[in-house]
Structure 1
Amino acid sequence: MSTTALPDWFQKPENRFRTAAFWFWHHLPTPQMCREAIADMKRAGLGCILVQARLAMPLSDYLSPNYLALCRLVSDLAEEHGLSIEIYDEYGWMSGHGGGLTVQGADHLRERHLFWTTGILQNGQTILQISGIDATFLDFLGPAGRRWTHEGGKARWGLWQIVAGGVIPSRTLLQPSQIRFLETSDSGCTVQIIAPDLPDETPVALFVAATCLTSRLVNYLLPETAERFSNRVYAPLRAAFPKAEAFFFDHPYAGFYTWNGQNSGSGPDAIHNSLLWDDSLIDAGINGIVLLDAVYGTDPQAASRRAYLFETYARQMHHAFFGTLRRWCDTHDIGLTGHELLPHVGGWNLLGGLDGIDARVSPGVDYFDIDTFKTQTVTDAADYSTQLSAILGDSLARAHGRTRCTVEQYSTGREVGRPSLHGQWDLSLSRLRAQMIRHILQGARRVLLHALFLPDAIHPNPSHQSDPRFDFAPGFNLQPWWEDAPDVLEEVARLSAFLEDGTPIRSVALLYPLEELRESSSTPDCAAHFGFWAEALMDAGVGYTVIDEKQISEETVCNGWLHLVSGQFDTLILPDVTVVRDPQTLSILEKFSHTGGRLLRSGKAITTSRNDRTRWIEGPVITTSEITRLIKENFPPPLLSIEGQPQRITLQRLTPSLLRIAIFNDSDQERTARLAPAPRERILLEWRCNTGVAMSPVCVPANTTFTLSLMPRQLSTFELSVTTAEIHCFPMEDKACLPTSYKKMLKDGWLFQPDPESRPVPIAVECGWEQQGFEYFSGTGIYTLHLSNFNRPYKETLHLVLPKIAGTVKCFINGLQIGKSIEHSASFLLPSSDQDLKITLHIRNTAANTLYPTMDSSLSPTTFLSGLLAPPYIWDGIAQIKQMVRCRAPPL
C-alpha cells in the first residue's frame, strides 16, 4: 500500500496533546542542570513541565530568592524550547500549606479538628477522655513525613473547646453548664459531664474541638486560608513563571486523625476520621443534634442528617478554598487545575484504592462540585493496571461543558509488593506505553508523568531528610530506556490529537452515588457495585459516561432519552443506589423508564430520597456477579470488537457518516478484530500514530465483515466513512499464515559488551545478562553476532526474530540500523544482501538492577530480567494475511 503524510496537527501535535511531567527538585539544581534538562525534555517529546519541590529539599530553600530565580530561568528556557509551563503550587503536596508559609505568623489558620467520644452515666456523671490522637495515613513517608507536616515532627494540640454534648438515643442536647474540662494538654483532654436528672446507664456523647499548634496543614473551611496561600505562594510563583498556563493544586486534605475513644459506645463507626472545624459550621446548621445523628445515629433520619452534614461541610470547604483560589487566578489571568484526593486511585471501586481513611472529611468525594472551580480537569492514577481515573475525569469535564482531562500517572511499590515510596525502577517502556494508551482511549487528553528527577537523585545525600532514589520511583528520565521514549511519546500525542474532534459514542450513563456515599455509616456496597459496572462496561466495549444527580432534571428527559450537557443517553445505571438527594429525581427516573429509557440497577431493590423516605422506586435485586450477564443481555455487540475481552476501543463521531476509531490489542497475544457489516459500502482509512502517515484506503463492501489482525500491544487508528464513490472491491480467501520454508536458529556465537569500550565476552541468549555476571548492570547492553558465509535462500524475504526480550532494542545489520522495538518480542526485515552479516543489538534495561539491591538485600538483582531471554532466529514465514476482504483502491 502507498502512504501519504497527514495534516501537521497530526504529524506534529500541539503541546496540549503531549505528555506532561512533574520535574522533582530534591535540591536546588544548577543553571546548567536546568539547561540540559529542558533540552532533554524537548528531545523526549514532552509538551509541558511542572517544577515540584520534594521532601529532600530543605524547607528554607522553598520559594527562596534562589529558588524563584531558578524558576524564572526554567520559564525562559521552556519558552525558548517551545514547552508549556504549569505551576505546581506546593512543597511536596497537600496544597494549601505552602511548605508552612500559609500558617507562619497566622496560627489561627492551622488545622482545627472536631473529636468525639462517648460514656455511660453513673450516679449522674461520667468522665470522658480524648487521647492518642494520631494520623497514620502518612506513616509510609517515615520521619521525613512527620517533620514535613508538623513542626518538630510531632502534633501538639491546644485551644480546646467544648462544642456540644448530648444523649445518644433521645437526640437531646446537654446544657453547656453540664460539661466542663477537667484537664487539657497538648496530647488530649479530660472532660466531666454532670447530668443528675438522667438515669444510670444513659449513653452520652461529647464533641470537642482543638487546633494542632504545630501543624503546617491548614483549615480549608476559612477563606482567609486560601487568601493567604495565594498571596504567599501563588503570587511569587506567578511572577517567576509569567507565561504559565495554570496553577496545579494537589491532594488538599485534612489530617485523617484517629484517637482513643473515637469508636466507644454503642454507635457505629459512622465517620472514621476527625472533621475540620470552625464555628461557622454551626451558623451553617451543623449543630449538636446533627453531630449526634451523623456520628452515632443508625436510622434513616440519622443517615439523612449525615448526608446533610457532609454536603454542608464540603460546600463550605469548596467555596472557601477552591473558590478563593479560582477568583485569584481569574484576576491574574491564569487557569486553575489539579486534583483532590481520589480514594479509588489504582482501581475501579470508589473506595478501594486508599485504605484506612474517610475521604468525606477532606475536600474530596463530590468531584463534580470541585470540578466547577477548575479550568481543566485532572485525575490521579496509580500504577499500571486499568482503572477509573480517565473515564471519570472526562465525565467531570463534559458535565461542565469541557472535554477530556489530564491523568497524573504515578508509580508505587504496592503493585509489585514493595513499600509505596520504593516505586518501580523496573518499569518497562512497554508497560508505560500501554498504560498511557489506555488513559487516552478512556478520555484523557494527555498523561502527566510523576516524575522526572534531577540527574544526581540516584546518588543520595545522607543529609537529606528523605532518599530521593525512592521517592515514588522511577525518575523516568534516569531510566536507561528514556533514550527510546521519544517515539512512544510522539505516538501517544498523535493518538490524542486524532481523538480530539467529534463526540464519543456513549449511550449509557452511570450514576455516581454521592448521596449513598455521604449517608453511609460504613463502607457502602455502592462503591464496589459502581466499580464492577465501570470496569465491566469498559471491558465489554460499551461506551458510557459517569454523571451525578445534579445533572438530572425534568427538562433532561424526553422520549426515553436523557439529554445532558455531557451527552445523550438511552440507558441509566444505578449501582446499588438506595438513596438519592432529591425526591424529584425519583419522579424523573420513573418518567425516563416509562417513556422508553432503559433503567438498569444492581444491589438493593428500593431507592428512596434523603428527606422523603416514603417515596421510592424499585427493581430486581442484582448481585455484582450478574453485572456482566446483564450487560450482555441489554447491549448489542459493538460496531468494532476484539475477539475475547477486554475491549480497548474508542469510537468518535465527527459527522453522521464519519467516525474515528482507535483500537488497542491490550494483550501479549495476536488477536483478531471484526468490523460489523453495514448496509452501505464504507471506506476505512488508516492513520498511523507511530509514523504520522496514512495508508491507502480500504473499501469495505456493503453487508461484509472486515477482519483485522492485531499484533500484541498494537495500536491502530482509522477513519471510517460511508462512500458513494466507484471503488471496486472483491473478496479474498482468508489465509492464516504463509507457509514457513526456512528457519535458522542463532543460538551460538553471541558476544556481549556492557559498554562500547569494554572487551566483548561470550554470552548465552537463553537467559538474560543478569544471570551471567552482569546482575548489577543497568544501561545499554550490546549483543553482537557475526554470520560468515550466510547462505541466503534465493529471492526469499527474511526476518530476524527476537522471540523474548527484556528491554528496548535497536537492531543494526552491518552497522546500519534496520529497526527498533520496545515490546517483549520483535521482528526486523533483513536487507537483501548476499554478504556476511554482522548483527548488533543495543538493548536497554531498567535502573532496577543498579538501585534496588542497594536498598533491600531481599531483592536479588537477578529478579530484574535484562537482554535476550531466548535464542533469535532468521525465518521467511513472518508475513501474515488476516483480512477476509481485500479492496482495490487508487493510491493516495
Structure 2
Amino acid sequence: MNPSEFKEPAVEFRPVPFWSWNGGLTPERLRTQISQMREAGVGGFFMHARNGLKTGYLDEDWFDCVRLCIEEADRLGMKAWIYDEKGWPSGFAGGIIPSLGREYRAKALVMLPERREDDEICRLLEVYEADGAIQYLYEWIQPLGDARFEGASYVDLLDTRVTEAFIERTHRHYEARFGSSFGRTVPGVFSDEACALLWLNPDVPALPWTTGLDALFFEKYGYSLLPRLHALFLPEGDYRSVRYDYWSLVVELFAERFSKVLYDWCDSRGLLYTGHLMAEDRLVYQMEWVGDVMRQYEYMHIPGMDHLGRYFQVSRPEQQVQPYTTVLSAKQVTSVANQLGRERALSELFACAGQGFELSRQKWMTDWHLIHGINLFSPHLLPYSMEGEGKRDYPPTLGPQQPWWGDYRLLTDYQARMSYALTRGKRIAPVLVIHPIESAFELYSPLDHSLVPELNAALEKLSLQLLDAHLNFDYGNEHLLDKYGSVSGEGLRIKEAVYQAVIIPACTRLRKSTVRLLEQLAERGFPIFCEDGTDTRIPQGPGDDGVPESSMLPEQLRQLPLLPFSIDRLSTQVPQSIVVEGEDGGTIWLHERETGSQRLYFLANMSEKKRIRVELKIAFAANLFEWNAETGEVLPIPARTEGNRTEVEWIFEPRGTLLLGATPQAGEEGVAGYPNNSAEERFTIPLDSAPVPLQPNVLLLDRFSRYEENAALWSAPLPLAEWIHAGSAGDPDTRFLAEVQLGEAMPELQLQLVVERHQALEVRWNGCPLITDGSTWIDPDWLCYQVPSGLMRKGSNEVEARLGVRDGAGHMENMYVIGDFSVLLTDGKVPILQRAQGTIKDPTGDVSEQGYPFYAGSMAFGFSLDEMERHRGQERPPGKWLLRLTRPQAGSIRLYVNGILNGARAWEPWEWDITEHWTGQDCRFEFKIMGSLRNLIGPHHLADDEAINFLTPSHFFDRSGWTDRYVLKPLAIGELELVYREISQCQ
C-alpha cells in the first residue's frame, strides 16, 4: 500500500452523495453547491431528480443543468454520476414508459375471493376451490394515476420491451449529449430500488407477473403453470416444485431482461452500472419484491445495497431497537463483488437516521460497512433545497445547512482513505456459506410468511457467530456456483474467490450442481459443515399424514461426510493469520486483506459503550504499522516477536478502530512494547463562564390558528400536524396565525421572521405587513423578514402568513423567529421569548434546556489554563499534554488556541494535543461546539424517536406517538479534563 496515495487518495475513493434536485434549478446555485461539496471532501455526486423538482425532468432545461454540472465537475476534478430516474424505483422514466401502453405497466398475479369481469386492469387466469372456498387468480395491471409515478404507474421490468424503452428515453438522451464524457467525468449510472413486484396492498396477496409468463413457463419446464397457479399461494399438490420453478423463472427474467440489459448497455459505453435493488435486508423481503438480489448483482459493475435507519445489526446489541438493515444486506453484495472480481461495492447509507445523526455515528456506521467489504459510500441526502419536504426527506440533511458541515471533511477524508486501503489486494475469506434463498423459493407464499423468517433467522445467527469469531466468509449463491463454480486442490472456486471450507446452513433444498461441487470438494479432503439443528429446525410443511416434518438438510446431502458445525471445529480446520483474544474480543470484528507480501487487518469495536482490551496474535514474524485513516499517517507499532508469531496488545475505545499493516520481517527482530497503554494523569478543568452563541437563537412556531372564511373568525390553535392530518394545511390563499410570547418588553431586540420562499404570499406581525429584502437563513429558500421593534409588545404577538399559489410546494410549514434572545419552555410545551443574558447556569450542561431548545448553530466556550500552570512545571517523564472532553454531545468540536485552529474532532477520542501550544499564562483557549438541525427541524413531538429503527417523513407529523412536550436532543460540551500522558517506552 502506497503511503502517499493513502494520505491523499484519488477522487474515485471519495464519497458520492445523493444530490437531491428538488427545486427550481439555477446555474448559480448548482455551481455553489458543487464547490461546497468539493471543499467538504466529496468526490462527486449523483444528480438525483426528486420530489419538489420544478425544472422539467428530461427537458432541455434539465439537460442544460446536467451539462453545467458535468463541466463544473470536470473543472474541479470531481465526478458527475447519472441517476436514471425521477424518484424511485427505477424504470418508469418519470412517467413516460407506463404511458406508452398497457403492456408496459406493472403487472401482478393476485388472488381474490370474488369473481369480477375481465377489464383493462384484471384478467381471470384460474378458478380454484379448496375446503369449500373458491379463489380467483387474476393477471392484474396497474392503472395510471398514481401520484408516486407522476400520475402514471410503475412498469413491468420482466418485459424486455420495458427495459429497451427505458434506455431509449433516458440513457440514450444522456449519451447523445454527454457521451464524450462517459467513463471520464461521468463514471456511471445509478439504478435505484428496481423490483420485480411493486405491491403496497397488504390485504391482497400478489406475486410477480408479466405478459406471456405462462408460455415461457411451459417452454422452460414442459408443463403448464395456469392450472397450478393456486399452488404458488396454497400448499396444494406438488406446490414446492411449482413454486421453485416459478421463482427460478421470475428471477431469471428479471436478471436477463432488466439487469443484464442495462449492464451490457453501460459496459459497451465505458460506464459503470451501480445502484441497489429493492428490499435486500431479509429473505422474506426479497421474496416480496425481488426474489434473489444476489442473482442481480452479477450484472453490476459496482454492486450495491441500501442501509436504512440509524442502527445496524451486531450480535450483542446495546439498544433494544431491531435494526432494519442486517448483515445479510452487506454480505450478499460484497460476496458477489469478491467472487466476480469487482473492486468496489457501494452502500447508499444514513437515510432515515434523522437530523441528529451526527458525524460520530456516521463514522461508526461507515466502519460497520467497511468490515463487510463496502468501499464506496453514497451518503443520503444532500438537498438542493430544504423547502417543504426537502428538510424531512428521509434525513439527515448532508450539506452546508448542517452546523457541523464545516468539519464534514473529517469524515470524507476518513472514508476516502479507508476505501483506498480496502481496495488494495484481495479480501481474505476462506469460508463459504451456502445462501438458502432457493429454499425460500419453495417455502414462500404471499398468504404465509412464517417459514421464510425462520430460514432467515438461522442464517443471521450463523453469520453473526462467524463475525464474532473473526472467521471471514462469503455467501455462495447457487446460480453463481452453478455458473462459475469449480473444485481443485486449492478448494472450491467461484471465479476469483477460493474457499477451503463450506457451511450448509438451515435449508430445504440444494441444486444438483451444488451437490456435485460439494461431493468433489469432499473428495479433495476439504471440510463441509452443517448446522446440527438442535435449536433451529426449518419446518418442511405438511407430510403425507398431515403431520409437519422437520429436517435441517435436503436428503441428497446425507451421503456427504458432513461435520457438525461449531466455531471451535471450524477454527481448527481453517488457518487464520490473526487471532483476536480477550474478554469481549468477539465485539471486535475483522476485515482481512492480502496485498502482495503484506497483510492488512481492519478491526473495529462494534460497541459504543465498552472499552475493550485484546491481544492480537499474528501467525508470522512481522513488522507492524498503524495506518491512521483519520490523519493519513503511517506509524510503526512496537510488538513482541517470538519465532514465527507476532503479538501486540491493543485497547479499543468504544467505536474504536485499527487499520493494521503486517509486513513479514526480513531477518530482524521486532521490538517489544505496547503503544496505547500509557500512564495518564488527569485534572478537571472547571468551565465557569457561559458559552457564547455564534448564530441567532431560534423560536419555533409550529401551532397555528386557521382563518375560516365562512365563519369570518380564527379557529382554535392546533399543531401543524393536526391541520395536515385533516387535509387543511395546503389550500392556496389560506391564512394561518401563530402566537409569539414575549416575556418582557425589549425595545432593543432585533427580530427576523423566517418563512419558506413559496409558502407565504403575505406575512404580517401584529397585523402589519413585513417585507423581505431577499436575505436568507439556513437555506437559500428560507427567507428573512425584518420585524420592526415598534411592532413588538410584551405578551402575545400575532404572526400571520397567507399561503400563495405554491406550484406544488406543499402545505403550510413551521415558521421561525431568530435573534439574540433565549427561549423558556414552560412545562416543556409553551415557548416564551426572553432576554438572552444569564440563562445558561451550567456551561457544561445541555444548552437546549437553558434557553436554546431549537438552536441550530455553534457555541463558543472560552477558558484559560492559568490555574494549571503549577502542574506543567512539575518534573515528569517525557509525555504530552492533552485537552479531553468526556461525553460531549455535539456534531463536531474545534479547539482554538490564541485564535488559531488547533484541530477539530467529530468522534471519540474527543482530545487535542496542546503540548506545543500551551505556552504559559495569557494563553487563551476556546472550544467551538457545533450542533445539528435536529432541534430545529424535528420531529418535535414524537416520543422516544431514538427507539424508531428508521425515521421517515411521515414521522414528523405522526400522531400515534404524539406528545405535547417538545422532544429535543441535547447539545452539551460535557466535562473538560487536562491530561498528561507519558510516552510509552519500549520494554
Which category describes the TM-score, using the shorter chain as reference length? 0.7 to 0.9
| Identity score, percent | 18
Quick check: 1:841 aligned with 2:927? Answer: yes
Q: For residues 277-316 of structure 1, give each alpha carbon's deviation from its aligned partner in whole angstroms, at most 9, with x where no partner exists.
A: 31243343252233132222346x3111101011112222
Pairs within 5 Å for 1:268-667: 272-285=205-218, 287-298=225-236, 301-344=238-281, 349-351=282-284, 359-360=286-287, 362=289, 364-384=290-310, 385-386=312-313, 387-388=326-327, 389-412=329-352, 423-454=353-384, 456-457=385-386, 459-460=387-388, 467-477=389-399, 478-521=401-444, 522-523=449-450, 524=452, 525-552=454-481, 556-558=486-488, 561-580=491-510, 582-593=511-522, 595-601=525-531, 602=533, 603-604=536-537, 615-617=556-558, 639-641=578-580, 643=582, 644=584, 645-655=586-596, 657-666=597-606, 667=608
- TM superposition shift of 1:737: 4.9
Contact 2:295 2:479 in 1 (8 A): no
- TM superposition shift of 1:658: 2.2
Q: For residues 774-795 of structure 1, give each alpha carbon's deviation from its aligned partner in whole angstroms, at most 9, with x where no partner exists.
A: 1111111111224556533215
The gaps in structure 1 that reach 5 residues or longer are 119-127, 132-155, 169-200, 263-271, 413-422, 461-466, 888-892
- Among 31, 38, 52, the residue aligned to 2:34: 38
Amino acid at match of 1:639: I
- Among 854, 859, 880, the residue aligned to 1:781: 859
- Partner of residue 182, structure 1: none
Q: For residues 782-829 of structure 1, give each alpha carbon's deviation from its aligned partner in whole angstroms, at most 9, with x where no partner exists.
A: 112245565332156533221121111111122222232112652223
- Partner of residue 628, structure 2: 688
Q: 1:486 to 1:597 in 2, by over 3 A?
A: same
Please give the alpha-carbon distance, in whole angstroms, between the structure 1 residues aligned to 2:202 and 2:479: 36
Amino acid at match of 1:743: F
SS of the residue 1:13 aligns to: coil
- TM superposition shift of 1:222: 1.9
- Partner of residue 233, structure 1: 170
TM-score, normalised to structure 1, is 0.78
Please give the alpha-carbon distance, in whole angstroms, between the structure 2 residues aligned to 1:83 and 1:432: 23
Please give the alpha-carbon distance, in whole angstroms, between the structure 2 residues aligned to 1:632 and 1:859: 55
SS of the residue 1:483 aligns to: helix
Q: 1:375 to 1:785 in 2, by over 3 A?
A: same
- Partner of residue 803, structure 1: 886
- TM superposition shift of 1:35: 0.8
Contact 1:790 1:837 in 2 (8 A): no
Amino acid at match of 1:228: A
Please give the alpha-carbon distance, in whole angstroms, between the structure 2 residues aligned to 1:681 and 1:82: 42
- TM superposition shift of 1:350: 3.2
Please give the alpha-carbon distance, in whole angstroms, between the structure 1 residues aligned to 2:496 and 2:866: 64
- TM superposition shift of 1:530: 1.1
- TM superposition shift of 1:739: 5.8
Please give the alpha-carbon distance, in whole angstroms, between the structure 1 residues aligned to 2:881 and 2:4: 35
- TM superposition shift of 1:560: 8.7
- Partner of residue 864, structure 1: 969
- Partner of residue 821, structure 1: 905
Amino acid at match of 1:360: M
Contact 2:105 2:141 in 1 (8 A): yes
- TM superposition shift of 1:338: 1.7
Comparing 536-545 and 593-602, the one that deviates more: 593-602
The gaps in structure 2 that reach 5 residues or longer are 145-151, 219-223, 314-325, 541-548, 697-818, 821-835, 941-955
Q: 1:223 to 1:584 in 2, by over 3 A?
A: closer
Please give the alpha-carbon distance, in whole angstroms, between the structure 2 residues aligned to 1:735 and 1:9: 26
- Among 205, 209, 213, the residue aligned to 2:143: 213
Quick check: 1:52 aligned with 2:48? Answer: yes
Amino acid at match of 2:72: L
Quick check: 1:116 aligned with 2:129? Answer: no
SS of the residue 2:912 aligns to: strand
- TM superposition shift of 1:23: 0.3
How many corresponding residue pairs? 764
SS of the residue 1:383 aligns to: coil
Contact 1:48 1:86 in 2 (8 A): yes
Please give the alpha-carbon distance, in whole angstroms, between the structure 1 residues aligned to 2:112 and 2:257: 29
Quick check: 1:161 aligned with 2:123? Answer: yes
- TM superposition shift of 1:68: 1.7
Please give the alpha-carbon distance, in whole angstroms, between the structure 1 residues aligned to 2:155 and 2:674: 70
Comparing 590-599 and 716-725, the one that deviates more: 590-599
- TM superposition shift of 1:34: 0.6
Please give the alpha-carbon distance, in whole angstroms, between the structure 2 residues aligned to 1:728 and 1:213: 72
- TM superposition shift of 1:204: 4.8
Contact 1:453 1:475 in 2 (8 A): yes
Contact 2:581 2:616 in 1 (8 A): no
- Among 3, 13, 16, the residue aligned to 2:12: 16
TM-score, normalised to structure 2, is 0.71
Please give the alpha-carbon distance, in whole angstroms, between the structure 2 residues aligned to 1:406 and 1:6: 23
Q: 1:751 to 1:109 in 2, by over 3 A?
A: closer
Amino acid at match of 1:40: Q
Amino acid at match of 1:397: A
Q: 1:375 to 1:157 in 2, by over 3 A?
A: farther
Please give the alpha-carbon distance, in whole angstroms, between the structure 2 residues aligned to 1:311 and 1:755: 59
- Among 678, 693, 699, the residue aligned to 1:753: 693
- TM superposition shift of 1:251: 0.9
- Partner of residue 98, structure 1: 93
SS of the residue 2:168 aligns to: helix
Please give the alpha-carbon distance, in whole angstroms, between the structure 1 residues aligned to 2:964 and 2:407: 27
Q: 1:561 to 1:732 in 2, by over 3 A?
A: closer
- Among 746, 756, 764, the residue aligned to 2:842: 764
Please give the alpha-carbon distance, in whole angstroms, between the structure 2 residues aligned to 1:597 and 1:38: 53
Please give the alpha-carbon distance, in whole angstroms, between the structure 2 residues aligned to 1:699 and 1:318: 50
Contact 1:6 1:692 in 2 (8 A): no
| Aligned-pair Cα RMSD in Å | 3.5
Quick check: 1:129 aligned with 2:111? Answer: no
SS of the residue 1:382 aligns to: coil
- TM superposition shift of 1:333: 4.1
- Partner of residue 811, structure 2: none
Q: For residues 77-125 of structure 1, give each alpha carbon's deviation from its aligned partner in whole angstroms, at most 9, with x where no partner exists.
A: 111111112211111111111110112243331223322245xxxxxxx
Contact 1:559 1:597 in 2 (8 A): no
SS of the residue 1:865 aligns to: coil
- Among 66, 70, 78, the residue aligned to 1:71: 66
Q: 1:668 to 1:819 in 2, by over 3 A?
A: farther
Q: 1:760 to 1:112 in 2, by over 3 A?
A: same
Please give the alpha-carbon distance, in whole angstroms, between the structure 2 residues aligned to 1:256 and 1:288: 21
Please give the alpha-carbon distance, in whole angstroms, between the structure 2 residues aligned to 1:845 and 1:561: 53
- TM superposition shift of 1:219: 1.5
Amino acid at match of 1:314: V
Q: For residues 403-447 of structure 1, give each alpha carbon's deviation from its aligned partner in whole angstroms, at most 9, with x where no partner exists.
A: 3401111322xxxxxxxxxx5001010000111122122111211
Please give the alpha-carbon distance, in whole angstroms, between the structure 1 residues aligned to 2:467 and 2:881: 40
Q: 1:341 to 1:851 in 2, by over 3 A?
A: same
